[in-house]
Amino acid sequence: MSRPAGQTLAEKVLARAAGVERVVPGEIVEGQVDLAMMHEQGAQTVGPFHEMGADRVWDPDRVVIAIDHWVPASTEGAAVLHRILRKFAAETHLPHFYDVGNHGICHQILAENGWVVPGDLAVGTDSHTNMLGAMGAVATGIGPTEMAAVLALGRLWLKVPPTIRVRVTGTLGRGVTAKDIVLRALGEIKTTGATYKAIEFCGPTIERLTMPERFTLCNMTTEMGAKCGMVAPDATTFDYLRPIAKHAMHPLTPDPDAAYERTVEISVDGMPPMVACPYSPDNVRPLPEVAREHIRVDQVFLGSCTNARIEDIREAAALLKGHHIAPGVRFIVSPASTSIYHQCLTEGLIELFTDAGAVFTNSSCSACFGGNMGILAPDEVCASSSNRNFPGRMGPKEARIYLMSPAATVAAAIRGEITDPREFL
């Protein structure tokens, strides 16, 4: 009798969550949740939670709430959502509530505070919860009624996804980043190519990436339609988490003979910076090619859960130093958390950006989702470090958004048009 094939990283984590030895793609499992996260969307969870007869959360120490989209509340509706969450947290005695003043984009809050660790099953009321898969966890977005059940029971049924392996080799050139890798992968897999599948990044290039760079990769697996994006834990993961991990790690790695649906091979040797053009994150082209079209920009946005960590902002500041924002361009910089804001303040980065003519905001999802600060006019163009450029993402459906690395956003801000950032290195 032949031995069954080995398991992928997603399969191993879900088998652990389900308390079984192995799982196979397509199988329905009921997994024990290690971490549940909610932001303002989680306010829609409160009603179903009470309607199902629940009055207590299964484990208050495993629930995190972060106010992040409308900070401070910019509409009456947002203020009501905030109030619902504050009241729910108080009534159910949830201690891990990141309210205005101690807030940040929910995924960054989880990442910088060690809430998700290798082997975890983590769920959140936001589609970009995939980002936390960089820890070697299955991290995925769920809806409010699913979250209500998780809060009450601590369990969730899931269908085991097949896995696409993305193997990356080669050495990144100067001015080429993890954002360019994931844009390149999106151009090949497309926005529906990984629907309800896991993306597992591997290869020598991935092994050399820092944790913030891995977060960027896994974050944008959401734009591929993926259920989760993952990087197997290694020394980089453990060094990052050791000082901050909130609970015990259960590191798992894929078997050498794991059965993947397919493997996408990407070599970054000689790869230029990339850009996703309107109106889809998979409309990816080499940035130097787009730059030759001299596309003028009205707004530049450096922010979002994809690329607003301190490393991104430092990189952008180094490129901006000695330059000024082009006339007619609005440059908005929104750090991913309050702690990152404090770092920028201490390091003099806020002054550098504002002296150059940029607007440096408090931590928030900001211009990314078209609901709070930085909304575009119908005919405007934005160069953005965020993750989506579908019609209407930053307000009107006619506005055009180009997705790129933090360095490329700075180049666009300085020149006033989409520009190869390597010109400023």
pLDDT tens digits, 352-402? 999 999 999 999 999 999 988 999 999 999 999 999 999 999 999 999 999
Three-state SS annotation for 59-116: CHHHEEEECCCCCCCCCHHHHHHHHHHHHHHHHCCCCCEECCCCCECHHHHHHHCCCC
Burial, 2: exposed, middle or buried (Cβ in 10 Å; 0-12, 13-18, 19+)? exposed
Interhelix angle 310-320/338-346, nearest 10 degrees: 40
Task: Name the helix (H) or strand (E) containing 354.
Answer: helix 349-355
* Topology adopted by domain 274-424: Aconitase; domain 3 (3.30.499)
Task: Name the helix (H) or strand (E) containing 288.
Answer: helix 287-291
8 closest CA partner among 218, 174, 164? 164
pLDDT tens digits, one per residue of 328-356: 999 999 999 999 999 999 999 999 999 99
User: Length of the chain in residues, anyone?
Assistant: 425
CA 242 to chain centre: 22
**Residue 4 confidence (pLDDT):** 78
Asked if 10-265 and 274-424 have one fold, the answer is yes
Side-chain-side CA neighbours of residue 16 (13 Å): 21
Structural domain boundaries in the chain: 10-265, 274-424
pLDDT tens digits, one per residue of 208-267: 999 999 999 999 999 999 999 999 999 999 999 999 999 999 999 999 999 999 999 999
DSSP state of 145: H
221 closest CA partner among 387, 385, 41, 391? 387
Whether a cis peptide bond, with omega within 30° of 0, leads into 279 is yes
DSSP state of 147: H
Q: Does domain 10-265 have CATH number 3.30.499.10?
A: yes
Interhelix angle 178-189/211-219, nearest 10 degrees: 20
CB 64 within 8 A of CB 37: yes
Residue whose token pair is 């944790």: 211
Q: Report how far residue 262's alpha carbon sits from residue 202's, in angstroms, rounded to the nearest whole number.
A: 13
Burial, 119: exposed, middle or buried (Cβ in 10 Å; 0-12, 13-18, 19+)? buried
- pTM equals 0.96
**Residue 140 confidence (pLDDT):** 98
